[in-house]
Chain A
Amino acid sequence: MTHDKELDARGLSCPLPILKTKKALGDLASGQVLRVVSTDPGSIKDMQAFASQTGNSLLSQSNEGKDYVFFLKKK
């Protein structure tokens, strides 16, 4: 999947991956895609909750080794 910006949130714990995701989305235009990489297992649920509450779409989430990879489309 193509993306317009990447956020490396590896090694960070709750709530930093969400706070940094919010910040990174602020630099994007509507419809652009952010790729987030995290190692926090809690971020799986939290990213879903973030997307559903903010209206940004969680296009996909997957595991790549120890990393959790999310693609978010800005509202």
Chain B
Amino acid sequence: MEARQKKMAIIASKGTLDMGYPPLILATTAAALGYEVQVFFTFYGLQLLRKSLKHVQISPLANPAMPMPVPMPVLVSAIPGMQKMATTMMKQKIKKHGVASLEDLRTLAIEADVKLIACQMTIDLFEFKKSEFIDGIDYGGAATFLEFASEADITLFV
């Protein structure tokens, strides 16, 4: 008799280019290892489920650990266009090093039957429309997540 299938539950609460990676990397890898996986997207994490990921960016502002080609004073990081530049640079780096895009990882997660759950409260709070989100996702709240998480072998908050 095969052992019970392991489960992993993740809360994805961040909507930046860097912080979008951990939940999707772990979800896809766990699925490849045979886990049943659910990811609950709440607050800014919800951006990762929108059809367009153009809002998912990275800013050097208040992000002192971000490697920059030249040392950059905080006030320079704050000028208009810096966030867009940092996002473009990061995406180039990601591509150059053979790291998957967030779009690709999300597609792989769906193909691997990872259950993606959008937080209904956040959708109402930010007045998003369901039509802005990709197909094939579920909608739910805290109790939905906890029901699965209570039986999970691994639970992570990102």
Total contacting residues, chain A, CB less than 8 A: 14
Q: Chain B: which residue is nearest A49 at the CB level? A: B33
Given contacts A19-B108, A50-B33, A53-B33, contact A13 B28 (CB under 8 A): no
Q: Are B98 and A15 in contact (CB under 8 A)?
A: no
Residues of A within 8 A of B33 (CB): 22, 50, 53-54
CB contacts between A and B, total, < 8 Å: 35
Give the B interface residue count (CB, 8 A): 12
Partner of A18, one of B29, B97, B99: B29
Report whether A50 and B32 are in contact in the complex, using a CB–CB cutoff of 8 Å. Answer: yes
Residues of A within 8 A of B97 (CB): 13
Q: Which residues of A have CB within 8 Å of B28?
A: 15, 19
Q: How far is the CB of A28 from chain B (nearest CB, A)?
A: 15
Report 15 cross-chain contacts, Cβ distance below 8 Å, ordered by A residue: A11-B98, A12-B98, A12-B100, A13-B99, A14-B99, A15-B29, A15-B32, A15-B100, A18-B29, A18-B32, A19-B28, A19-B29, A19-B32, A21-B32, A40-B98
**What 4 pairs across the A-B complex have the smallest Cβ distances?**
A22-B32, A15-B29, A12-B98, A11-B98
